[in-house]
Each structure stands twice: as C-alpha cells, then as structure tokens.
Amino acid sequence: MDVISVIPPLDLGDEDRDLLEARVRKSLIGGYVTRRELAEIAEDYLVSGDHRPVSPAQARRLADQMWTERAAEQAAWSGETDPDRLTRAFQALEAAGITAQENFTCCRSCGQAEIGAAGSPDARGFVYFHSQCTDAAADGHGLTLLYGGFDGSPTASIGREVVAALAEAGLPAAWNGDPGQAITITPLDWRRRLVG
C-alpha cells in the first residue's frame, strides 16, 4: 500500500476548502515559499484553537498537488519575467550601495524596523517590499516599493535611483518624486518562478 492511499482526504466544507486552496494558491503565485513552507501554510491556515482540520500529511499532499500544477503552468513561460526583472534591478541597487530586499517581513512596520540590519552596514539607503505587497502583486494589483535613507527619513535621491534601476530592467515605475510616497510598479505581470 503506498503512502498516498493511507492519507485520508480533506474533510472540509466547500467554503473552507475554497478558502484553504485560495490561500495556498496565493502563496504559490507569490513565489517566495518552498514546498515545505507551502505545506505549513496549508496545515495552519484553518486552525481555530485546538481544532486542526488539516493534518500534516493532508497538508503535504495538497501542497504537492498544487505545487505540481503551478510547475506545469510555469513550464510554459519563456524568457525573462517581470519578477526576474525586479530581481535584476534589486541586484543592481545592492551593487550601488542600496539595501534591496524582496518579500521582506510581513508588513511595513516590521520592514521599517528590520531593514537597517538586512544589508551592508555602509549602505546609503534601502528599498523593499513586504509579503502583503507580494500578495497584492499576485492578485494583479502591481507592486508597492518602500524606500528611504538610513537617517530615518525617505529621500528623493534613493527614490530616483530605484526608479532608474527599475527602468533599466524594463519595469514601469509610477512615482511622483515625492519622498513621502511609495513607488509602484504597474502594470506588472507577476509570474515568479517557484523556489526550492
């Protein structure tokens, strides 16, 4: 008897199944999770108190199934994707002395608190997007980039360097030059290749 046949099927109502699959799919489309992390998301998403409706084995099976489906979609992609371009722009910014982090922390508050320790101690400034920004990009809403100098206030010069690096990589950035405003990349075709 193979292992798959001893894993009971998910015993979820349609609404909970839809919610679970949507959350797992969003994480897959976001593209920053490993297969193991995807299974952890599937196992923990519907937990309520002591009620754990998805076992570790069921979560692994769901993650494997959805991972395989996404990998098949990804096989049809050719050439450089917008997330590939973004990574290239962030690598150029790192080389120019700006800490550049993709899918960094869960939110803006955590990102602002932690970005100083994320890069080189002599970095002049930073740019990042957090996981909520990734989720928005996966949903087709473009990507918001947060940036600034390490003196505690956003700087227009860092913003201009970020916009220039994005343009060099072939990504359309929307920014009005105001150092208090985030930079957005839109339109954006979010097809990030799976990791791990």
Task: Give the helix/strand (H/E) hosting 174.
Answer: strand 173-174
Q: What is the pLDDT of residue 98?
A: 95
Q: Which letter, b or e, does each residue of 158-182 get, where b requires 16 or more Cβ atoms within 10 Å of its Cβ?
A: bbebbbebbeebebebebeeebeeb
Confidence of residue 144 (pLDDT cuts 50, 70, 90): very high
140, 26 in Cβ contact below 8 A? no
- Domain extent at residue 70: 9-75
Q: Indicate if the alpha-carbon torsion angle 172, 88, 132, 160 is positive or negative.
A: negative
- Does residue 69 sit in the same domain as residue 90? no
| Domain-located, residue 122 | yes
SS3 label, residue 126: strand
Q: How many CA atoms lie within 13 A of 73 on its CB side?
A: 15
Is the model more confident about 87 or about 154? 87
- pLDDT beyond 80 at 196: no
Residue ending a domain, choose from 51, 75, 99: 75
Within the chain, residue ranges assigned H as helices are: 3-6, 14-30, 35-44, 56-75, 82-95, 108-114, 131-138, 156-168
- Does residue 134 sit in the same domain as residue 149? yes
Residue 187: is the preceding peptide bond cis (ω within 30°)? yes
Mean pLDDT of 12-33: 94
In sequence order, what are the residues at sequence separation of 6 or more whose Cβ sits closer than 8 angstroms to the Cβ of residue 93? 100, 127, 161, 162, 165
Structural domain count, the chain: 2
89, 165 in Cβ contact below 8 A? yes
Q: What is the pLDDT of residue 126?
A: 96
Distance of alpha carbon 39 from alpha carbon 188, whole angstroms: 27
Phi and psi at residue 143, in whole multiples of 5°?
A: -130, 130
- Does residue 181 sit in the same domain as residue 138? yes
Q: What is the pLDDT of residue 13?
A: 87
Q: What is the pLDDT of residue 5?
A: 55
Residue ending a domain, choose from 41, 75, 109: 75
- Does residue 107 sit in the same domain as residue 172? yes
Q: What is the pLDDT of residue 54?
A: 95
- Does residue 117 sit in the same domain as residue 175? yes
Q: What is the pLDDT of residue 9?
A: 84
Query: Which of 38-42, 85-89, 153-157 shows the lowest per-residue confidence on average (mean pLDDT)?
Result: 153-157
Confidence of residue 11 (pLDDT cuts 50, 70, 90): confident
> Which DSSP state fits 50?
T
**pLDDT tens string 148-184:** 998 665 589 999 999 999 999 999 999 999 999 999 9
Average pLDDT, the chain: 93
> Which DSSP state fits 152?
S
- Does residue 107 sit in the same domain as residue 168? yes
Instruction: Give which of 62, 70, 46 is closest to 9, Cα–Cα.
Output: 62
Confidence of residue 1 (pLDDT cuts 50, 70, 90): very low
Q: What is the pLDDT of residue 153?
A: 55
**pLDDT tens string 91-128:** 999 999 999 999 999 999 999 999 999 999 999 999 99
| Domain-located, residue 147 | yes
| Domain-located, residue 2 | no
155, 162 in Cβ contact below 8 A? no
Q: What is the pLDDT of residue 108?
A: 95
- Does residue 86 sit in the same domain as residue 13? no
